[in-house]
Structure 1
């Protein structure tokens, strides 16, 4: 069984940080903690609502700019991929399963694999971030 397969049953919940109820960042956090074995993964769970796009965008920008995240140019398994969802704001995160493929969840769909190099996603990619424990 591939590491991502058990995660396909997760259910979207805004602010969710514990499987099976997670939002996009909660899924990434759960992957790092349960699959990659990293204990120190920030929660980013308080003080935002998906409806508050500016606050969510600020959380991603602030968080990605400090420890434990390291910006990388060549992505690999378990890296976070930061994406735009509405306009220019960074509102979404997925997890690199392998270069070109991400696992992500939204309020509109359960976790799924998608090609972030596809026309639908490639213009939305803002960057890749690696947890310092994987550097």
Structure 2
């Protein structure tokens, strides 16, 4: 079994898609007004409108912009470089400037326009580098 995607439910697909395109430097694929994806080598970040919830049992199953438990994480070669390049854009979304965590990752933490936590990280110690070998 493999995790292939994470889907964010939002009231504004365009706004979230533009945000994630900016921070990842990837071009998203817009399938419909209500659904888009950013496809990466190992996983996909899907963005679905609240209107798509009707296909899964109705609006009560998920609420846009209410996540307070999950962190969407992206591994990168150089989180400090991304911070230098994106700091102005991310200023109003920032939670934490790049900092080295006790488990060996250097992390940049911010929120997307819906308030979802996003972590860009670079493994920096031997164990973390080994753990994520081949993932970048």
TM-score surpassing 0.5? no
Q: If the length of structure 2 is used for normalisation, what is the TM-score?
A: 0.29
Q: If the length of structure 1 is used for normalisation, what is the TM-score?
A: 0.29
Query: Which has the larger Rg?
Result: 2
More helix by share: 2
